[in-house]
Amino acid sequence: MNSHRSQYPIGSRAFTLIELLTVIAIIGILAAIIIPTVSTVRQSAQSARALSNVKQIGLGNLLYAQDNRNGVLGEGWSWADTNHLWNNMARYISKDPGNTNSDKTRLNAVIGGLVDPRVPENLQRYGSSPTDSFLTTWSCNYIMNVMNGRSNQGLVENRPSGGAPSYPRKRIMSEFPDPSRVIYMVGGSYQFNLTDAANEALLAEPTARQRIFYYHSNKRATPVVFLDAHTQMLKFPIDPKLINPNAP
C-alpha cells in the first residue's frame, strides 16, 4: 500500500509565473487599446453636447427674430448691450425664465447651463462683479454688433428705459441672403472677429480661453451655430466670409 499522497487535491494546481505574466501582458494590451478609445468616445460626446447647447442659442435667436421684426440679437460695445443680448436669449430658451433682468442666478442657470464642456474652467464671466454678472462660453460674431458698420443716421431704436433714440438699429435677418453661411455664435469669450479666425496664436493657452475656444479635434476646432441655427464643428482657420460675407 502506497502511503505517499500528493499534498494537493487531484485536479488542482497553481498558476505558473509564466501564466501570470501572460495574463498581465494581455490585460495591459487590452488597456492600451480601450483607454484611448474611451477617451475618444468621451471627447466625441462632449463635442456633441457642445453643438447641441449652441444650437439652443441659435434657435433662441430665431424665435427672437420672429417676434421682433426680423431683428438679430447682437452684442454692443457696452456691458448693457451684452446684458441685453443674454437676458433676451434666456427668455426665448427657457420655458420659465422669470425676470432675468434682475435675477442673475436664474440667468446663470439658463445660459450657464448651455456651455461647451471642453472649455477650460468651463465658464467665462461677463460683468464687473459676481453680483452683476453671468456666465457663458459663447461669443457673438462681431458683425452682429449693433454698432458695427452703422451710423446714428437712419433707422434707430429707443433704449428700454425710453427717451430719444441713441444708437443704430440692430441687424436684421434679411440683410444676409444666405443665413446658413453666416456664423452667429462661436465657442469663445468677447466678440469673435476676422482677426481671430486666422490667428494661430489663439490656439495656445491661455490666449485661447480669452478669445476663441479651439478645444475640439486636438484643439484646432470650435463649435459654431449659424444664423439659420444649424451647427458645425469648424476647424482653424475659419473662412472669413463665414464671419462677414463682404470680407475680401
State the pLDDT at residue 59. Answer: 96
User: Quick one: average pLDDT of 173-189?
Assistant: 90
Segment 24-48 shows an average pLDDT of: 81
- For CA atoms 62, 68, 72, 74, the dihedral sign is negative
pLDDT in tens, 91-150: 888 866 666 555 677 777 788 788 898 886 655 555 555 555 667 888 888 888 765 544
- Alpha carbon distance 125, 119 (integer Å): 13
How much is the pLDDT for 152? 40
Q: Mean pLDDT throughout 82-92?
A: 81
Q: What's the average model confidence in pLDDT over 207-215?
A: 72
**Which residue has better confidence, 75 or 94?**
94
Q: What is the mean pLDDT of the chain?
A: 76
Q: How far is CA 206 from CA 2, 44, 179, 233, in A?
A: 81, 23, 32, 21
Q: What is the pLDDT of residue 197?
A: 79
pLDDT for 38: 65
Q: How much of the chain, in percent, has pLDDT values that exceed 70?
A: 69
pLDDT-based confidence at residue 54 (cuts at 50, 70, 90)? very high
How far is residue 7's CA from residue 188's CA, in Å, rounded to a whole number? 71
Task: Specify the range with the lowest mean pLDDT, choosing from 60-64, 85-89, 147-151.
Answer: 147-151
Which is more confident, 78 or 93?
A: 93
Question: Who has greater pLDDT, 160 or 52?
Answer: 52
Summarize the confidence of residues 178-198 as an average pLDDT. Answer: 85
Q: Which of 1, 196, 159 is nearest to 81 (CA)?
A: 159
What is the model's pLDDT at position 157? 44
Domain ranges of the chain: 17-242
